[in-house]
């Protein structure tokens, strides 16, 4: 069984046929889904899906693109939402300097608020980072010194050096369909070297469809394509990689178990 550790089931492209999307994924061997929120107004809808679907779990958080629009969001709101039994993670949160849709200082402040909630609840922090390696690592290292918290870098596309540094902090790394792209040689090298106990797979659906589905709306079913590719890179079988990543998922997201 595979688990799609990061998808957006309420986003356009998936929500219109959510039942079909889930059915196709299950048929492809994907038996669990972590549905990610990016804005506060999505939280109720994301959680409602988990209440209908026994193999879907939810996160609550604010994407860095949305930081300016959530400047007043306090820890109390996140803590209250995180108490729901189907909410197993905090995020996605982090820093995105590629688009700079929100003020960088606001992104940092909100990132730290999410970290505090992760630390208080014990729920893993789901981190988005793009063109912001130095600041992301600096905040993580500083916050870890104030008290450890579980976390992962989702849709990893950063440098090998950043990967080594966050692994040293105890983080997990999740690979999306980007690893299958022809121009992703550096990422493929990182994927080969990841420790067996620190690797997850995801789609980030409806975005980033892997080869051979480029140009299509990405679905959680495509987790299987990414997993097959990563298994081949690492010299193992798809079944073995599925067992490894599923075990890692439940170890990291203990509330899901």
* pLDDT value, residue 48: 98
As a whole number, mean pLDDT of residues 55-82 equals: 98
* % of the chain beyond a pLDDT of 90: 100
Residue with tokens 């106990």: 197
Question: Which CATH number belongs to the domain containing residue 221 in this structure?
Answer: 3.20.20.140
For residues 70 and 62, what is the distance between their CA atoms, to the nearest angstrom? 8
Domain range for residue 99?
Answer: 2-256
* pLDDT value, residue 44: 98
* pLDDT value, residue 146: 97
Q: Read off the pLDDT of residues 17-64 as tens digits, 9 standing for 90 and up.
A: 999 999 999 999 999 999 999 999 999 999 999 999 999 999 999 999
Number of domains in the chain: 1
CA–CA distances in Å: residue 246 to residues 33, 93, 120, 181, 202: 11, 23, 25, 23, 11
Q: Read off the pLDDT of residues 171-190 as tens digits, 9 standing for 90 and up.
A: 999 999 999 999 999 999 99
Enter the tokens of residue 32: 């669990």
Which pTM does this prediction carry? Answer: 0.97
Peptide bond into 206 cis (omega under 30): yes
* pLDDT value, residue 182: 96
Q: Are 101 and 69 in contact (CB under 8 A)?
A: no
| Average of per-residue pLDDT values in the chain | 98
Cβ partners under 8 Å of residue 167, min gap 6: 173, 194, 195, 198
Q: Read off the pLDDT of residues 119-166 as tens digits, 9 standing for 90 and up.
A: 999 999 999 999 999 999 999 999 999 999 999 999 999 999 999 999
For residues 131 and 40, what is the distance between their CA atoms, to the nearest angstrom? 24
For residues 185 and 37, what is the distance between their CA atoms, to the nearest angstrom? 30
């Amino acid at each position: 069984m595979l688990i799609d550790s990061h998808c957006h089931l309420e986003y356009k492209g998936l929500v219109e046929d959510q039942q079909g999307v889930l059915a196709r994924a299950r048929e492809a061997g994907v038996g669990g889904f972590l549905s990610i929120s990016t804005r506060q107004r999505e939280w109720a809808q994301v959680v409602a899906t988990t209440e209908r679907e026994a193999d879907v779990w939810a996160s609550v958080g604010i994407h860095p693109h949305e930081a300016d629009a959530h400047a007043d969001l306090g820890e109390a709101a996140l803590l209250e939402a995180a108490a729901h039994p189907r909410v197993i993670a905090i995020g996605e949160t982090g820093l995105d300097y590629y688009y700079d849709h929100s003020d960088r200082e606001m992104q940092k402040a909100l990132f730290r608020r999410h970290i505090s909630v992760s630390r208080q609840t014990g729920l893993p922090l789901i981190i988005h980072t793009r063109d912001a390696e130095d600041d992301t690592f600096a905040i993580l290292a500083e916050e870890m010194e104030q008290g450890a918290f579980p976390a992962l870098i989702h849709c990893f596309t950063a440098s090998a050096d950043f990967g080594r540094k966050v692994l040293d902090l105890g983080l997990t790394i999740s690979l999306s369909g980007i690893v299958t792209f022809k121009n992703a040689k550096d990422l493929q090298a990182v994927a080969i070297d990841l420790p067996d106990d620190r690797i997850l797979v995801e789609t980030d659906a409806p975005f980033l469809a892997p080869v051979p589905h480029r140009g299509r709306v990405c679905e959680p079913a495509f987790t299987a394509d990414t997993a097959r590719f990563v298994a081949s890179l690492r010299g193992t079988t798809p079944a073995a990689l599925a067992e490894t990543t599923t075990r890692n998922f439940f170890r990291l997201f203990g509330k899901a178990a």
